[in-house]
């Protein structure tokens, strides 16, 4: 199965308090987006990678042009589900779709391989999850009596019982493209943010008894995203530690 990698990189990154697009902020001397592009190129060729741009789109497009990847403009920005729809419209090829975020640079290739293996066998979709002591604002993973994934509920839309769950969505997915396109076409912005949530695709699949797998991260550190300067500092510390370990 051919793989298409969609990298979501359209957000404003307001909490970074900078004019620079969030994905171009540097950690250990490299823009966050470069590390994510490296991950994408570990599983797909450049012509099968599409970067979804939005805020200061021209700046991000200029940055990635030399790498030969596709770009797709999301304007207006109506949520992650809409961003992925824009990506698929720009990229006609790819039976399997791997979804990454441009501000999550710590994932390992072995983790992506585990995720892709799920949809290469019997799952229609697969997502990365983590078990956290303090789940905070992460979307909660709801499982059924058989421990299969039933839904992902965003924290802003969750009731108290759901917020008590400790398994969270890491925001990294693999899908079989055909069912993904059908699900995206059915999405509605029926939530507190008025956006098209990519997480609603999971519920669309499970309601049709299509299998959804969940791969739990051994190291939740891999899912660290960057929304603030403090997050960026944490990512830099991890990268420095990894570099030191590789030298020893």
pLDDT tens digits for range 44-80 = 999 999 999 999 999 999 999 999 999 999 999 999 9
Region of residue 224 (phi > 0: left; psi between -120 and 50: alpha; otherwise: beta): beta
pLDDT, residue 111, reads 97
CA neighbor of 40 nearest in space, from 73, 68, 12, 79: 68
Q: Enumerate domains of the chain plus CATH numbers.
A: 3-247 (3.90.550.10)
Spatial contact of 187 and 200, defined as CB atoms under 8 Å apart = yes
- CA-based end-to-end distance of the chain: 38
C-alpha distances out from residue 237 to 39, 40, 105, 208, 221, Å = 19, 22, 12, 43, 11
14 phi/psi in degrees, rounded to 5: -55, -40
Low-confidence ranges of the chain (pLDDT < 50): none
Nearest in space to 46 (alpha carbons), one of 36, 34, 37: 37
Active-site residue, from 15, 30, 166, 207: 15
Structure tokens at 16: 């970074």
Q: How far is the C-alpha of 83 from the C-alpha of 72, rounded, in Å?
A: 9
pLDDT of residue 1: 66
- State percent of the chain over pLDDT 90: 86
Give 24's Cβ-side CA count (13 Å radius): 18
User: What's the confidence (pLDDT) of residue 30?
Assistant: 95
Residues in the chain: 248
Per-residue pLDDT tens for 36-49? 999 999 999 999 99
Active site residue 241: no
Token pair 């979307």: residue: 139
- Distance between CA 42 and CA 150 in Å, rounded? 30
Is the whole model's pTM more than 0.85, yes or no? yes
């Amino acid at each position: 199965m051919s793989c298409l990698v969609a990298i979501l990189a359209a957000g404003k990154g307001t909490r970074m308090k900078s004019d620079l697009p969030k994905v171009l902020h540097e950690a250990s001397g490299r823009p966050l987006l470069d590390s994510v592009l490296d991950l994408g190129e570990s599983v797909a060729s450049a012509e099968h990678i599409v970067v979804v741009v939005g805020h200061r789109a021209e700046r991000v497009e200029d940055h990635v042009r030399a790498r030969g990847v596709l770009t797709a403009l999301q304007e207006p920005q109506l949520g992650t589900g809409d961003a992925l729809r824009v990506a698929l419209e720009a990229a006609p090829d790819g039976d399997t779709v791997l979804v990454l975020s441009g501000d999550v640079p710590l994932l390992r290739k072995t983790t992506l391989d585990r995720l892709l293996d799920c949809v290469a066998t019997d799952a229609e979709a697969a997502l990365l999850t983590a078990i956290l002591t303090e789940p905070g604002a992460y979307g909660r993973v709801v499982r059924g009596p058989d421990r299969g994934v039933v839904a992902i509920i965003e924290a802003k839309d969750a009731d108290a019982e759901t917020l008590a769950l400790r398994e969270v969505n890491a925001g990294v997915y693999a899908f079989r493209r055909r069912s993904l396109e059908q699900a995206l076409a059915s999405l509605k912005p029926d939530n507190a943010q008025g956006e098209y949530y990519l997480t609603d695709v999971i519920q669309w699949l499970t309601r049709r008894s299509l299998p959804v797998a969940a791969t739990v991260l051994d190291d939740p550190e891999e899912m660290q995203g960057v929304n603030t300067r403090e997050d960026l500092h944490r990512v830099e510390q991890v990268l420095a530690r990894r570099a030191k370990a590789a030298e020893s």
